[in-house]
Amino acid sequence: MADAARALLRELRKRAPRIARTLARFVRAESPSTNKRALDRFARIVAAEWKRRGANVRIVRQSAAGDHVRVEWRAAAARDDAATSRGEATSVRGATAAIRVDVARARSDAPILVLGHLDTVYDIGTLAKNPFRVRGGRAFGPGIFDMKSGLAIALHAVDALRALKLAPRRPVVFLWTSDEEIGSRNSRAAVEREARASCAVLVLEPAAGAHGDLKTARKGVGEATLEVTGRSSHAGLAPERGVNAVLELALQIARLRRFNRPKRGVSVNADVIEGGTRPNVIPDHAKALVDLRAPNVREMRALERKLRALRPILPGAKLAVRGGFNRPPLEARMSKDLYARAARIARQMGLRIGGCAVGRGSDGNFTAAIGVPTLDGMGGVGGGAHSREEFVLLRSLPERAALLAAMFLEL
Ligand SMILES: [Zn+2]
């Protein structure tokens, strides 16, 4: 492996200008989460790149969101044995729903799943103000770090394997989704289905920090809504007849504050509130959106229980609590083995790459929660995500592509 990893890095460094050109094309194709037309156009650009590389490409059409792209790639040398067992593989696939995840994982032909997203948080027109540009080894542009660099890295990882005639044993499935930045509501089922059939999941979200750390744990993330119904009344003439919904909500928010456990990584924060109608009127309605974070499933469940147990404080007030966690935590134990292998490969390539836990969720949270080993943060190294200063370090692109390609060989 050490020789192959080093050869991959050498090969990819030679290809650095080509990776940068792919990245520039991807950044110039704007793809905000909410613009289906733009997303579909970008999906086709990415799909065409994979078709040129002989991969099996399917556009997964969506009516309510941008189309996803599913790519299945098998190395040429591995294709021969795959062909002989294809009949068997098909029947196995038909029964997948009934097979437990660990059985699927034990299969030597279970694919490696690579996750990435096509969408960005930037509206059409951002590019005109913040164009793709290179300055001092950094490339800038909307969505360049999160995560068009990841999409470019994957293509060139495969190119390098092909050029060096290195054939991973397993097929690799790449699932490029269109709604990660807005909660993956539309793609979650597809992500989980592919993960269940796979041996491991590698997520091309950006790396953490200046050294490109891999993301070995992510908090679970959620949002709850607290909605209070009171009773309106004239604030001057008949205050005693009113039930003040704003006051009830304020008391509830003060109570929520006690659910925070900073040392354990549990946080609860009311981040949007609304309520009341006009001066002089005791308000009968108030609402809060509450951000929820938890580091593991146990803390997540405990927090959800506490939220559901909330009861009104003021006599006559009604309280409705809705929502909860929409991304379960990616616990460190789900990435431990993959991280150890990636860190060893990085050392063999002379790179120092660490691991770290982060507060934000990704699609890797879904796959880890259903029991599939998951390693996140395999994408570009840079910073400024979701801002005008978003950038990637150009030097990191060949390194990350080599790491990804070597992981395909490793698994
Ligand atoms: Zn992302």
* DSSP code per residue over 349-367: TT----EEEESS--HHHHH
Distances (CA, A) of 63 to 40, 60, 177: 11, 10, 14
Judged by DSSP in three states, 404 sits in helix
297 C-alpha to ligand 1 centroid (Å): 22
> Given this model, what pLDDT does residue 109 score?
87
119 C-alpha to ligand 1 centroid (Å): 8
Q: 86: exposed, middle or buried (C-beta count within 10 Å: 0-12, 13-18, 19+)? A: exposed
147 C-alpha to ligand 1 centroid (Å): 5
> Given this model, what pLDDT does residue 360 score?
82
11 C-alpha to ligand 1 centroid (Å): 27
Distances (CA, A) of 39 to 52, 117, 140, 154: 20, 10, 20, 19
Mean pLDDT by 10 residues, the chain (411 residues): 95 98 98 97 98 96 95 72 41 40 68 98 96 97 97 98 96 97 93 97 96 94 96 90 97 97 95 94 97 94 96 98 93 95 96 90 93 97 92 98 98 96
Of 190, 200, 8, which is closest to residue 108 (Cα–Cα)? 200
> Given this model, what pLDDT does residue 91 score?
39
146 C-alpha to ligand 1 centroid (Å): 5
249 C-alpha to ligand 1 centroid (Å): 34
- Max CA pair span of the chain: 86
241 C-alpha to ligand 1 centroid (Å): 50
206 C-alpha to ligand 1 centroid (Å): 7
240 C-alpha to ligand 1 centroid (Å): 51
> Given this model, what pLDDT does residue 162 score?
96
> Given this model, what pLDDT does residue 85 score?
43
> Given this model, what pLDDT does residue 371 score?
93
4 C-alpha to ligand 1 centroid (Å): 29
53 C-alpha to ligand 1 centroid (Å): 25
Q: What residues are paired with 243 via a beta bridge?
A: 231
As residues whose CB is below 5 A from the ion ligand 1, the structure lists 146-147, 205
181 C-alpha to ligand 1 centroid (Å): 6
Amino acid sitting at position 360 = R
